[in-house]
Amino acid sequence: MHPNDSLTSAKAAAADSLVIIPTYNERENASAIIDAVMALPQGFDLLIIDDNSPDGTAAIVKEKMEQYAGRVHLTERSGKLGLGTAYITGFRWALERGYEYIFEMDADFSHNPADLPRLYEACASDGADVAVGSRYKTGVNVVNWPMGRVLMSYFASRYVRMVTRLNVYDTTAGFVCYRRRVLQTINLDKIRFKGYAFQIEMKFTASKHGFTIAEVPIIFVNRRLGSSKMNSGIFGEGLYGVVSMKVRSFFKKYPRYAENDTDPQRQNSK
């Protein structure tokens, strides 16, 4: 085999995976997180969804687009439109371009890019439809968070499990890999939450459609640079919205994915 053949094969294989990172005022982290993802041997592609960051985050991403031509991409939006809508924008972008494995990840290194291959393997090799980077699968694996926030997050996930009966320990996790067929089957237009409760709704909806969800234990580290986007309104959306989401589910159809359906969009819930 020619020395360049393995590199060419690796790049071809990597084209099946896209990491989506929403950003707002992540100037301190943007360059480093892009470099970290690009350095992975699997060669994940990367899409940054920037909500018109006034600190110049998009300009940094554009420099990286030149450095990693064809692998780093940028979608710029007019302003802060919500985490959920950012990911849905990214999901549609990924589906249009044929990616098979689509990832959610934060920009601030609270999610370790080195764990991306573990999520990939959970779906590509172990058969999961959704792989969740879980803080709570094997205890509480959170570093440098204030105790109050740890307790809020942990008990929020327990509350969600109790209300929804979702068999996932870390229901609010934002480090996730979706197989393409999951995002094709879910009617993204019907996803209601825009904040962190979006993460709950996506997992709940995937489960209702019959997709398998695996949890991959990770160590979650509080951001070192920049400021958190969490606030009481986001927490309230999850606390009160979960009940209404569960009630709505009683009156909603969730068609199961069919392997022989050549157009999974036909299975979207109405």
| pLDDT tens per residue across span 124-137 | 999 999 999 999 99
Question: How far apart (Å, rounded) are the C-alpha atoms in residues 223 and 111?
Answer: 9
Greater confidence (4 vs 39) lies with 39
Residue 133, token pair as written in the block: 């980077």
Q: Give me the DSSP letters along 22-73.
A: EESS-HHHHHHHHHHHHTSTT--EEEEEE---TT-HHHHHHHHHHHTTTTEE
Query: Mean per-residue pLDDT for 157-165?
Result: 90
Phi, psi of 214 (to 5 degrees): -110, 145
Phi, psi of 130 (to 5 degrees): -135, 130
Query: Mean per-residue pLDDT for 225-246?
Result: 65
- Out of 7-11, 164-168, 264-268, least confident range: 7-11
The CATH architecture of the domain made up of 11-254+261-267 is Alpha-Beta Complex (3.90)
- Please list the residues that pair with 103 across neighbouring strands: 19, 177
| pLDDT tens per residue across span 168-190 | 999 999 999 999 999 999 999 99
| pLDDT tens per residue across span 75-87 | 999 999 999 999 9
Q: Over pLDDT 70: what percentage of the chain? A: 83
pLDDT at 205: 97
Nearest to residue 197, comparing CAs of 161, 249, 240? 240
pLDDT at 228 > cutoff 60: no
* Contact (Cβ atoms closer than 8 angstroms) between residue 202 and residue 104: no
State the sign of the Cα–Cα–Cα–Cα dihedral 15, 49, 57, 237: negative
Confidence label for 154 from pLDDT (cuts 50, 70 and 90): confident
Q: Over pLDDT 90: what percentage of the chain? A: 66
- What's the pTM? 0.86
pLDDT at 208 > cutoff 50: yes
Phi, psi of 267 (to 5 degrees): -90, 0
Confidence label for 48 from pLDDT (cuts 50, 70 and 90): very high
Residue 161, token pair as written in the block: 């499990």
For residue 266, count other CB atoms closer than 10 A to its CB.
11
Nearest to residue 152, comparing CAs of 168, 140, 164, 137? 140
pLDDT at 146: 78
CA angle 155, 158, 164 (to 5 degrees): 140
pLDDT at 262: 46
**Mean of per-residue pLDDT scores for the chain:** 86
pLDDT at 237 > cutoff 80: no
Element (H, E) at 216: strand 213-217
Question: How far apart (Å, rounded) are the C-alpha atoms in residues 239 and 204?
Answer: 15
Question: How far apart (Å, rounded) are the C-alpha atoms in residues 212 and 182?
Answer: 10
